[in-house]
Amino acid sequence: MPGQYPNRIKQLPLFDGRFDAYKLEAKDSTVLFASYPPGTSIPPHSHDTDNHGVITRGELILSMNNQTIRVGVGEWYHVPANVEHSALFEVETDEVEFWFV
């Protein structure tokens, strides 16, 4: 799997979802170390978790609530539970996501 993560992170189980990520489970939350190749598009969807993420390489283009924002390296974003959103990655991107129940 691509991504510039430490070897310890790369030893975590893989996330079984619509993108590549290493999965670290924690009480009442999931932590994902996700990587996206250029051109990755995640169509509109929602989920029952409250998500926070930080971009560690590249850029996220996040569309939510009729707005589109660009989230760069070192910047955090928040997607509330049950809110429809979509994502686009024009460049190779890594991020750490926290999914809270």
For residue 26, is it within any domain?
A: no
In the chain, the number of structural domains is: 1
Beta strands in 37-84 (DSSP E): 40-45, 50-57, 59-64, 67-72, 76-79
User: What CATH number corresponds to the domain at position 47?
Assistant: 2.60.120.10
Supply the range of the domain harboring residue 42: 31-100
- In the numeric block, the tokens 């971009």 are attached to 55
Nearest to 41 by CA among 67, 71, 63, 73: 63
The model's pTM is 0.82
For residue 24, is it within any domain?
A: no
Which residues lie closer than 8 Å to 95 by C-beta, 6 or more apart?
A: 33, 34, 36, 53, 54, 55, 56, 60
The count of other CB atoms within 10 Å of the CB of residue 99 is 20
For residue 51, is it within any domain?
A: yes
Predicted pLDDT at 3: 80
Using one digit for the tens of pLDDT, what is the confidence trace for 14-50? 999 888 899 988 888 899 999 999 999 999 999 999 9
